[in-house]
Structure 1
Amino acid sequence: MQLQDTTAIVTGAASGLGAATAHALAEAGATVVGFDLPSSIEGAEPGEGVRLLPVDVTDPTQVEAAVAEAAGTGRPLRTVVNCAGIGPSARLLGKKGPHDLGLFAKVVQVNLLGTVHVMTLAAARIAETEPLADGARGVVVNTASIAAFDGQVGQAAYAASKGGVVGLTLPAARDLAQHGIRVNTVCPGIVETPMLATVSEEFRAGLAAGVPFPQRLGRPEEFADLVLTLVRHDYLNGETIRMDGALRMAPR
């Protein structure tokens, strides 16, 4: 799938993995429309070739309107990358009692349903484009986490939501095959994102020490590079790929 003179949607595009991916796609020649919450967009510097729209991915009406705007750039919509997500920590039964069920639902709404909303509504638009070689029309790359496989203490909601994204990958690829749309998922390990910027250097060093090799934290640019590989490689479909330096998370 060539990116030059096409349109790409990236969710969570104002920072972290999403921002790095949006920048990489724009550098490759795509017109990038980034979705993020208004509070996240405020003060963000998306860079050349990236336009940010205020979108709550849990609201299908907002998503549908934003996807329509992205599809109307004059360049065919070919790529969708779902990076939007949240990861609050809480045990199913902690010192303060049972897990806040509203919080659990919110994590699933953002991480899993948000991914479904954007993928499904964008796929409907991609399916309207002219097919390329082999009938290809587009590609979706979703973001899960190694927590989908190695969920730690306090990650029940997060792991469940990301496990849902992993489980969605193959059936989504099969559902969308008739429309020439591929679906793949990336499961990052511990990556240097704004969420880690608030912790001490000592804590970060401890996290890095647990990674077999390379013994450091992942970089958003490496995630973006993997996304571009998945977009460009037309025979990669229905795949879930870990990007974690061979890390397997301990219980805590």
Structure 2
Amino acid sequence: MKKVLLFSLATILLLSSCVSKKQFTDLQAKQKETQDLLNSATVKLNSCLEERATSTARATALEEQVADLRKANDNLTVLSSKGASNIEKTLESIKEKDLKITRLQDALNQKDSITLAIVTSLKREVGINDPDIEINVEKGVVFISIADKLLFQSGSYNVTTRAKEVLAKVAKVVNSKPDFECMVEGHTDSVPYQSGVLLDNWDLSVKRSTSIIRVLQGLGVNPKQLIAAGRADYVPLVDNDTAENRATNRRTRIVVLPKIDQFYDMVEKEMKNLSAQN
């Protein structure tokens, strides 16, 4: 630009020596116009250079942001993939737990349904109007409690004729449920046993249980379903302080229940599986 300026001045001087005043004035005006254009161009150039520097810095910053976003996106993709995998695993675990809970509930419902069916059958067959026969459910198990006066003579373990009629009705229900077990549980009062070949009330309670089991077996009940048990006088219903109370405590209880390996094991297994996953 300095060369252009010097050239312009040299031209003016040269022309001033050989041109008219008017021409000289015109040349000065053009020179001023040229100078103004040059100054304007210089300002614009400097402005463009500043804008370029700003744009370059901004572009660099944007490139860095893009690089950071790409890196974050890659990390997000990995996290999203892991998150999706974890969500799928969680859903699968929930589905498995729901399935186990459903199976557990089905087992319990099935057991409850069967228990109700047993009670209904027994009440229909045995009869619920006899005060010496009680049929109830305790903790999901069916109990038939029969007073001793229906089953045995005092101090005896020989089953009476009337008892065989009652046991025939019980046998009918048990025979209709071949997958059930039937435990016969003998109970005595607290008066010591002192006659015959038996030693004590333990012997008497168990002997009465086996006597009833033989009757049930003779009525067609599969002996594999039968369990003999005696409790002597150690599980009384009331105090043995009156003749009436002692008569209440002398009883035989028949427990009818599904086989444990079919229901209780299933329930226990499902409960353990649920506990292990929590």
Into which bin does the TM-score normalised by the smaller protein fall? 0.3 to 0.5
Which one has the bigger strand percentage?
Answer: 1
Flag the structure with larger Rg.
2
Q: Report the TM-score, using the length of structure 1 for normalisation.
A: 0.32
Q: Report the TM-score, using the length of structure 2 for normalisation.
A: 0.30
